[in-house]
Amino acid sequence: MNAPPNNIRTLSTAQLAELAANIKNWGQKLGFQQVGITDTDLSRAETSFLNWLSHGHQGEMEWMARHGSLRSRPAELVPGTVRVISVRMDYLPNASPAEDVLANDQLAYVSRYALGRDYHKLMRRRLQTLAERIATVSGPFGYRAFVDSAPVLEKPLADKAGLGWIGKHSNLLHRDAGSWFFLGELYTDLPLPIDESVTDHCGDCEACITACPTAAIIEPYVVDARRCISYLTIELQGSIPVELRPLLGNRIYGCDDCQLVCPWNKFASISREEDYSPRHGLDAPELVTLFNWDEATFLSKLEGSPIRRIGHEAWLRNIAIALGNATGRPEIIAALKALLHHPSAMVREHVVWALQQHGLNLEEDIDHV
């Protein structure tokens, strides 16, 4: 936390209430669609999170359990924290219709959040500006900004701050905005008045559970990451389980199916942030075109993109599966054959699998292809 000096200004209850109202106004002027404030009690969320971990639903994301109680106890992560300012920024881009891309097996589907520039830096800068604006009224105060970058239970915090409720697909939902938004936080030592949480409005709807291609939503509000396409294509470091590969379809980076079918997302608005607009035609690119990117092209084209962090090998792995699931064409077979001798054993394995889906039964041992 940016620690305050000893001469921190003391604010009355009325002044804190006025400051809280101003924080929400300032936040909206900075491009956050909503700002809420909550305390640090995450005891209920902690129980659910620990139960989720105990079942191994995090898969290879060992960092989810690495920090002990710091994730669910903000004052342990940042000593002195008594409140959390939670913010929402809409990201839905003006892009080719997701349903059309998913229906065309010659195209690659990229999760809508990753079509433009990485959101971390943009939101962190805005949060820093918000903190500096607060200081002009409060005087120096303690704070620390987070944007999906530390052990933080951001969705339970946003839920408590009144930004929405956690849906059965585990995403935060808002009645007027759906779920197409990012979250960020300011941990602070200012004892601001807190907001009320909102009611769960999922009701009997289970559209997200039914729509999940891999049945990763194993029960309402519980996602087994090991089956989730977002985990498989982004977080998983090695080979994607063979039994799940046909279910990925043409999804090469993330998956939005649970959000696409959610009735509340009909209220979502297109983002006004230019940084979230599609770059390099990623909203409806041809699979073969992306598969032909060498590593230098991959790094260059995706500079400033969240996709870049998975690396070129995982990129090829994911696209190879999509090509295996696609309707066979000569250019697809040629593109796959061109990588049969790729230096990466993981890439070769998935290329061989893809060719086998098109009836090419390669008898050579994969390590010697």
Pair (49, 180) in one structural domain: yes
Q: Are residues 177 and 292 in the same domain?
A: no
Q: Any catalytic annotation for residue 365? A: no
Same domain flag for 165 and 294? no
Question: What average pLDDT is seen over the chain?
Answer: 95
> Does residue 90 sit within a domain?
yes
pLDDT of residue 10: 84
Tally the residues of the chain: 369
Whether 235 is covered by a domain: the verdict is no
Per-residue pLDDT tens over the stretch 26-85? 999 999 999 999 999 999 999 999 999 999 999 999 999 998 899 999 999 999 999 999
Q: Which domain does 72 fall in, by range? A: 13-94+115-188
Residue 243 within any structural domain of the chain: no
- Domain total in the chain: 2
Q: Is residue 259 part of a domain?
A: no
24 with 135, same domain: the answer is yes
Checking if the pLDDT of 368 tops 50, the result is no
Express each pLDDT in 224-261 by its tens digit.
999 999 999 999 999 999 999 999 999 999 999 999 99
Where is the domain boundary, 153, 188, 223? 188
pLDDT of residue 301: 97
Domain-located, residue 142: yes
Return the closest-CA partner of residue 84 out of 71, 69, 74: 74
Is residue 296 in some structural domain? yes
Contact (Cβ atoms closer than 8 angstroms) between residue 259 and residue 81: no
In terms of C-beta distances under 8 Å and separation of at least 24 residues, what long-range contacts does 120-124 make, across chains too? 120/147, 120/148, 120/149, 120/306, 122/273, 122/275, 123/87, 123/89, 123/147, 123/182, 123/184, 124/149, 124/184
- Active-site hit among 39, 105, 148, 195: 148
For residue range 263-301, what is the model confidence (pLDDT) as tens digits? 999 999 999 999 999 999 999 999 999 999 999 999 999
- Give the pLDDT mean for 160-179: 97
Q: Is the pLDDT of residue 201 over 70?
A: yes
For helices 311-325 and 345-357, angle between their N-to-C axes, nearest 10 degrees: 10
Residue ending a domain, among 188, 208, 234, is 188
Share of the chain above pLDDT 70, in %: 96
Residue 6's pLDDT is 42
On whether both 176 and 43 belong to a single domain, the answer is yes
> Which of 334, 49, 263 lies closest to 170, judged by CA?
49
Asked if residue 358 is part of any domain, the answer here is yes
- Do 170 and 28 fall into the same domain? yes
Q: Are 35 and 158 part of one and the same domain? A: yes
Domain identity same for 42 and 156: yes
Is residue 266 included in any domain, yes or no?
no
pLDDT higher than threshold 50 for residue 128: yes
Q: Does residue 180 sit in the same domain as residue 317? A: no
Residue ending a domain, choose from 188, 220, 236: 188
Entry pTM: 0.94
According to the model, what pLDDT value does residue 361 have? 77
- My answer on whether 148 and 30 are in the same domain is yes
* Gap between the terminal Cα atoms of the chain: 53
